[in-house]
Amino acid sequence: MNNRDTLIDLMVLHRLERRELAELLRVERDMVDRWLLPRDAGRWCEVPDMAIELLGYKLRERRDAAPGG
């Protein structure tokens, strides 16, 4: 699975909107939009490995901080 597909899966699983994802990763919303474009789109940009790794840490942190987490 590539990083774009992983990102989409995490967004669906955790019910993340693009705006919220951008805030979690501290990137512009436009960058998230570019990551989610199909590879053959003109403005497409590869999702960096560090973005997936950081998102994983932040989502675990959120889960652990939630009541009953």
CA dihedral angle for residue 4, residue 12, residue 24, residue 29, rounded to 10 degrees:
60
Domain count, the chain: 1
Residues in Cβ contact with 58 at an 8 Å cutoff, skipping those fewer than 6 apart: 24, 25
Residue 1's pLDDT band, with cuts at 50, 70 and 90, is confident
Q: Report the percentage of the chain scoring pLDDT > 90.
A: 86
Q: Which two tokens stand for residue 41?
A: 């789109």
Q: Which of 11, 2, 13, 1 is nearest to 44 (CA)?
A: 2
Using DSSP's 3-state secondary structure scheme, residue 50 falls into helix
Q: Which domain holds residue 15?
A: 3-65
Q: What is the pLDDT of residues 21-35, one digit of tens each?
A: 999 999 999 999 999
Of the candidates 67, 64, 66, 32, which has an alpha carbon nearest to the alpha carbon of residue 48? 32
